[in-house]
Amino acid sequence: MPDRFDFLEIGDERPPAPTLPAPSEGAEAAQSWKPLKLRAVEVIGDPGTGAGQFSLPTGIAVDQWGSLYVADSNNHRIQRITTGGDVYCIGRPGTAVGEMWNPHAVAVSPNGEFFFVAESGTNRIQCFRFTGQSKGVVTGFKSPMGLAFDPEGRLWIADTGNGRLLRMNVQNGQYVGGFDGKAGFQRPIAIAIDRFRQIYVTCSATQSVIRFDPQGRKLSSLTDRRKLSFPTSCAVDALGRIYVVESEANRLHVFDNEGNSLVCFDRLSTRMGDLKAPTSVALGPNGEIYISDTQNHRIVRLGWE
């Protein structure tokens, strides 16, 4: 019987998150669906083992206060970087509880109190408090590579090697749903969930991003309209725009909700160069777009022009 997450401790509450305006509707929303260009706003980190440095960063997540969580995979740790620039290194190399080995994905609970780490190197999911204390571990996976929370606060897990998605109640560690490859996907490596509870599954075997309803019924696929070049991650914003990292093409590709291409981004500047084998994309509470530029050992923040 695997260990389960312990959520009895409630103290150290976070400050309230900023209140954001509701998404625009009508004509204003239609205009915002067609931005012309993405640009690099900030480069975070450089190669190394110190705080704020990375070695093959993969999964990234952003909490409701704008703090960035990075799966610093080859340094076997998670780094939490606040909006004020403070850096907290959590974990150390190893396979014991509280240690990490090749963390691949990270997801932050909706209340910002906890974060979860998928370790492909140890076939497990670990839970930590945002301050770094280990809260438990669940095993029984095979190379888990994707994590995402749905609007009800349930954690979805891409159990990649077992070819299935699992939905977990993190308050008691019990599974409360999910589906497997019979739904129409192979080797899921990343998950995104929109505000309508639709699930976007990035599949490495078919090089596709497939959209499902919560019951596992296939709704559409981005490859219905175009071929993707080894997609490794996706995210969906409040307007329904779909952000897809194409690792083999070294770019971020943005689509509208119907699968029409809007824009591609691959080059920061002449000085900062191109993306190189990016892995993950995450969206911040104020529209920030973050990419883990894996083989350049850095995180890139983008903005709309």
pLDDT digits (tens, 9 = 90+) for 34-58: 556 999 999 999 999 999 999 999 9
The amino acid sitting at 169 is N
User: Would you state the pLDDT for residue 27?
Assistant: 40
Rounded distance between C-alpha atoms, residue 30 and residue 188, angstroms: 32
**124-129 and 134-139: which strand pairing?**
antiparallel
Q: Helices (DSSP H) in the chain: which residue ranges?
A: 26-32
Could you say which DSSP state residue 268 is in? E
b/e map 62-73, b = 16+ CB within 10 Å: bbbbbbbbbbbb
Beta pairing, strands 273-274 & 188-193:
unpaired
What distance in Å separates the CA atoms of residue 297 and residue 72, rounded to the nearest whole number?
9
Dist CA 33 CA 237 (whole Å)? 11
Q: Write down the pTM of the prediction.
A: 0.89
State the Cα–Cα distance between residues 254 and 243, nearest whole angstrom: 5
Reading the block at residue 225, the tokens are 């309209």
Rounded distance, CA 274 to CA 196, Å?
34
Q: Calculate the CA dihedral of residues 145, 150, 40, 46 and round it to 10 degrees.
A: -40
Token couple for 88:
């907290």
Q: What is the distance between the alpha carbons of residues 201 and 211, in angstroms, rounded to a whole number?
A: 6
Residue listed under structure tokens 């963390």: 103
The pLDDT value given to residue 8 = 30
For residue 280, the model assigns a pLDDT of: 98
Distance separating alpha carbons of residues 298 and 64, to the nearest angstrom? 22
Amino acid 226: pLDDT = 72
Q: What is the pLDDT of residue 234?
A: 97
CA 102 – CA 72 distance, rounded (Å):
8
Sign of CA dihedral 124, 283, 133, 11: negative
Residues 6 or more apart in contact with residue 89 via CB below 8 angstroms? 51, 72, 77, 78, 79
Query: How does pLDDT run along the chain (305 residues), one tens digit per residue?
Result: 344 444 333 334 455 555 544 544 444 444 444 556 999 999 999 999 999 999 999 999 999 999 999 999 999 999 999 999 999 999 999 999 999 999 999 999 999 999 999 999 899 999 999 999 999 999 999 999 999 999 999 999 999 999 999 999 999 889 999 999 888 888 999 999 999 999 999 998 889 999 999 889 999 998 766 789 999 999 999 999 999 999 999 999 999 999 999 999 999 998 899 999 999 999 999 999 999 999 999 999 999 98
CA neighbor of 273 nearest in space, from 253, 290, 250: 250
